[in-house]
Structure 1
C-alpha cells in the first residue's frame, strides 16, 4: 500500500527529492516523466536538472517552480480552467513518445489496481476502532461485490501520460497558471481513469476542491471518456476506504468518522 516515499530540501532555485529506497522505482519514474514533459509539454512541471545519490539513496534534482499549493477549498473557475489546461497538455504527449522514453503503466494503473484492491478488501480487518463498524463492513462488502461484477469496469486503456497523484498539494498556483509536481507514481494511463482518481482523492474530495463535472469539462473529456470516468470512480472510492481502515495511515491522519463517511460515499456511488 502507498506510504511515505521521499524527503524534500529546497533552495531558491532547486528542489532536491531524496527517495527512501530504489526498490519501487519512484526515482526512475519521476525522472523519466519530468524529462519527457520537458521535451514535449514544457512549462507544466519542473525541469529535471540532474540525478544524484545521497547516502545510498536516489535523488532527483529539479527546478523550483513559482506558486503555492492549492488549498483546502474549492477551485475557482479560473483555477479549474488553468488546471484543465495543464492536464490537457500532459495528455497531449503521444503514446509512442512515452513508450520510447521507457515509461510503463503508472503505479496502480487501470490494469493493476482492481486486482490489488480485491486482495486488500479480502484481508482481515479489525474494525473495532471505527465509530460504526457495521457501516464500514457494509462498505467493504459492497466494494467486494461490485468488483466481482464483470460489467462495472471499462477495458483498460493506456493512451496518455498521467501524474497519478493529484493531491491538491501537488498543484502549484501562481495566480494565473497551474503547474504539476510529484510524478513518482506517474506513467501510461487513461485520462478518464486519471480524472476519476483525481476527483476521488481524499484530500481533494473531503474539501470539495475539484468539481468532477467542471474539471472533466476543462480537460476536454469526450462523452465516452466521461462515461468511463464515472465508471472508475467507485474503484477509487473503494481504494480510499481501504486506506482509511484501522491500521492504515489514513485512519490515523483523519478525524474520527472519516472512514464511515467514505463508506457512505462509496455505497452511494455503487448505488
Structure 2
C-alpha cells in the first residue's frame, strides 16, 4: 500500500528532500526527471542542485517561486496555465526520456490492474465504516470491474508527473510550475489526467474540472475517451486507500470512504 516517502526542508533558495532509507529508486527517478526537465523544459520544475551522501537518499533542488494551489476549484486562468505546464511536460521527447534511463511511471497503466487486484484480493473488516453495506457493494463491483476492465491498450507516449496533488502545483500569479517527480515516468497523457482528476486531494475540493483540464492539456477526442475509461481504475485505487486501517482512512474524516464508494459505483455505471 502506498505510503509517504520523504521529508522536505525549505530554505530561502533551496529545498532539501530526504527520502526514507529504502526508497532509493524514487530518489533516482526524481533526480533523473528533474535533470531531464532542466534540459528540455527549463523552468517547469525545480532545477536539481546536488545529492547528499548518507544513510538516506537526499536531493537538494532550487526553491520555486509561488504557492501551491489552494484546495478550491481552479479558475479559467489557472486552468489554462496548468494546461500549458502539462503540455510542456508532454512535449519532452520520449527518446530523451528513455535515454535518461527513465522507465514507466509508478502504478503505470500496464501494471495497475494487477496491483489493484492484489490490494483488493482479501476480505476487509468494514465494521468501522459508517455504511458497511455500501462499501462492500463498491468493493464487489470493483473486483468485478478489475476482472475484465474495459480499458484501452496501454501506451507510453509522454513523460508524466504521476502525482498532481494540488500541493505539487506552484502558481506565481502568471505561471504554473510542477513539483514531486518521484513517481513520474513514461506514461500516456490520458492516463495521467485520469489520475489527476481522481486524486482525492483534488477531487474532494473539486480543484480540477475534468473537461476543462483535458481542454487545457490539449487532449483530442480519442484521448478523452481513454481518460474517461481510466477514471474508474483510479477510483478503485482511492477506494482501496480509504479502507479501514489504511493511510487515507486515518487521514480523512468519517464518511470519506462511503463517498468514494458511491463515486466509484457511479463512474463504473453500477448505480
Q: TM-score, normalised by structure 2?
A: 0.98
Measured after TM superposition, the shift of residue 53 of structure 1 is 2.0
Per the TM alignment, residue 22 of structure 1 is displaced from its structure 2 partner at its CA by 3.8
Report deviation, 1:73.
0.3
Q: Which position in structure 2 is the counterpart of 1:130?
A: 129
1:220 match: 218
SS of 2:58's equivalent in the other structure is: strand
Q: Which runs of 5+ in 2 are unaligned?
A: none
Tell me the C-alpha RMSD between the 2 structures.
0.9
Paired residue for 1:261?
A: 259
2:4 aligns with 4
Question: Which position in structure 2 is the counterpart of 1:105?
Answer: 104
Using the alignment, how far apart are the partners of 1:9 and 1:256 within structure 2?
Answer: 31
CA displacement, residues 5-28 of structure 1 (integer Å, 9 cap, x when unaligned): 101111111001010124451100
CA contact (8 A) 2:134 2:258 kept: yes
- For residues 21 and 123 of structure 1, the distance between their equivalents in structure 2, rounded to whole angstroms, comes to 29
Which of 233, 236, 255 aligns to 2:234? It is 236
The 2-side partners of 1:224 and 1:209 are apart by 24
CA distance in 1, matches of 2:19, 2:98: 24
Match for residue 43 of structure 1?
43
Query: Alpha-carbon deviations, 1:97-146, whole Å to 9, x = none?
Result: 10000000000000111100011111221110000011001111111111
Per-residue CA distance 1:180-238 (angstroms, 9 max, x = gap) = 00000000000000000000000100000000000000000011100000000000001
Q: Supply the distance in 1 between the matched residues of 2:156 and 2:39 (Cα, whole angstroms).
A: 20
Which residue is equivalent to 1:83?
82
Q: Does 1:198 align with 2:196?
A: yes
Partner SS for 1:18: strand
Q: How many residues align?
A: 269
Report whether the alignment pairs 1:20 with 2:20.
Answer: yes
How does the TM-score come out when normalised to structure 1? 0.98
1:119 aligns with 2:118: yes
The alignment partner of 1:251 has SS state of helix
**Cα distance in 2 for residues equivalent to 1:17 and 1:24:** 12
* Corresponding residue of 1:144: 143
Query: Would you say the 8 A contact 2:117–2:143 is kept in 1?
Result: yes
